[in-house]
Amino acid sequence: MADIVEIKVPDIGEFKDVEVIEVLVGAGDEIQPEQSLITLESDKASMEIPAPQGGKVTELLIKVGDTVNIGDPILKLEAGEGAAKEAAPAKAEKPAAAEKTEAPAATAPAAAPAPKAASFTGDVDMSAELVVLGSGPGGYTAAFRAADLGKKVILIERYESIGGVCLNVGCIPSKALLHTAQVINEAEEFADIGVAFNQPKIDLDKLRGHKNGVVGKLTGGLKQLARQRKVEIMHGYGKFTSPNTIEVEAGDGRKTVVGFDNCIIAAGSRVTKLPFIPWDDPRVMDSTDALEIEEVPERLLVVGGGIIGLEMATVYD
């Protein structure tokens, strides 16, 4: 008799009440190890939860719209003897012979050959079926999905922390600071209904630590998901050396040549240094500097009304 096991939400970086936006399997499905079961989404970061083992799904314990935490049950699985073997791919049927032979189409003029990149003649230190350059929301989502489909994946990130601009110096840290500002505003508004609080004392070092902690939990969760999927993470600056090789230079100058069958470029964005801004003036800071909250000036001019600009204006206000 095959064992019935309960598959639960694994360690996803201490997220709480994460919404289920997609259920990828159903009762009666035969699943393989590392096959994606559900998709979770939290604060612009989405992640797929893989199966720790193969077998037959006997019961779903979750649905779209539910919120889950670490250890919550996802489904029940009949493992071991009940696991079915992979079906052999069906052979394509031979087309029936046509009753009439059609006249051959006119031959089109041959197109000029596209220019080819130079071939790499050195040694390859490591290789993968897919290389993803950049670990932001586009990069890590593509890497995880490819790994779920059975590909060997290497994820290359220039900086020490994965997650890209959004998770490290964009929407996520700014929203952590926005939440603090919202609490202060709500406390002030309570005076209108007869509940008054003292003026808050802001410790910038602790506030910065809180923001960094939120970012750390999210990036830590991504690293855990990468480990579960056996996605190898390399840190360094990637430079293509041929159509199928990329050289990764680490911070210490060490270079590694990676060979690949396919590559996804998801290099992301960075702060634009506008030429008319006096960047040597100590009062001038970009959005990344603003997230460090070294001090709160009495007056602040924000150039740019995008999401990060609006959020930084709200936080400093």
Residue 94's pLDDT band (cuts 50, 70, 90): very low
Q: Are both 160 and 17 inside the same structural domain?
A: no
The answer to whether position 108 is within a domain reads: no
Q: Are both 224 and 273 inside the same structural domain?
A: yes
Q: Judge whether 60 and 27 are in contact, CB under 8 Å.
A: yes
Question: Phi/psi of residue 59, each to 5°?
Answer: -160, 135
Q: Is the pLDDT of residue 95 over 50?
A: no
Q: Is the pLDDT of residue 96 over 50?
A: no
The answer to whether position 106 is within a domain reads: no
Q: Judge whether 302 and 312 are in contact, CB under 8 Å.
A: yes
Residue among 290, 229, 209, 36 at smallest CA distance from 300: 290
The answer to whether position 50 is within a domain reads: yes
Q: Are both 32 and 148 inside the same structural domain?
A: no
The answer to whether position 316 is within a domain reads: yes
Q: Judge whether 143 and 153 are in contact, CB under 8 Å.
A: yes
Q: Are both 309 and 213 inside the same structural domain?
A: yes
CATH number at residue 22: 2.40.50.100
Question: Phi/psi of residue 21, each to 5°?
Answer: -105, -10
Q: Is the pLDDT of residue 82 over 70?
A: no
Total Cβ atoms within 10 A of residue 294: 10
What's residue 112's pLDDT?
A: 57
Which of 28, 54, 82 is the endpoint of a domain?
Answer: 82
The answer to whether position 87 is within a domain reads: no
Q: Is the pLDDT of residue 107 over 60?
A: no
Question: E strands of the chain, at which residues?
Answer: 4-8, 18-23, 30-31, 36-42, 45-50, 55-60, 67-68, 73-78, 126-133, 153-157, 232-235, 237-242, 245-249, 255-265
Domain region containing 32: 4-82
The answer to whether position 289 is within a domain reads: yes
Number of domains making up the chain: 2
Averaged pLDDT for residues 143-162: 94
Q: Are both 160 and 16 inside the same structural domain?
A: no
DSSP state at residue 228: H
Q: Are both 224 and 310 inside the same structural domain?
A: yes
Averaged pLDDT for residues 105-130: 66
Q: Are both 125 and 198 inside the same structural domain?
A: yes
Q: Are both 167 and 46 inside the same structural domain?
A: no
CATH number at residue 154: 3.50.50.60
Q: Judge whether 123 and 102 are in contact, CB under 8 Å.
A: no
Residue type for 247, please?
E
Which of 52, 82, 112 is the endpoint of a domain?
Answer: 82
Q: pLDDT tens digits for 173-200?
A: 998 999 998 898 899 999 899 998 988 8
DSSP state at residue 140: H
Q: Are both 218 and 272 inside the same structural domain?
A: yes
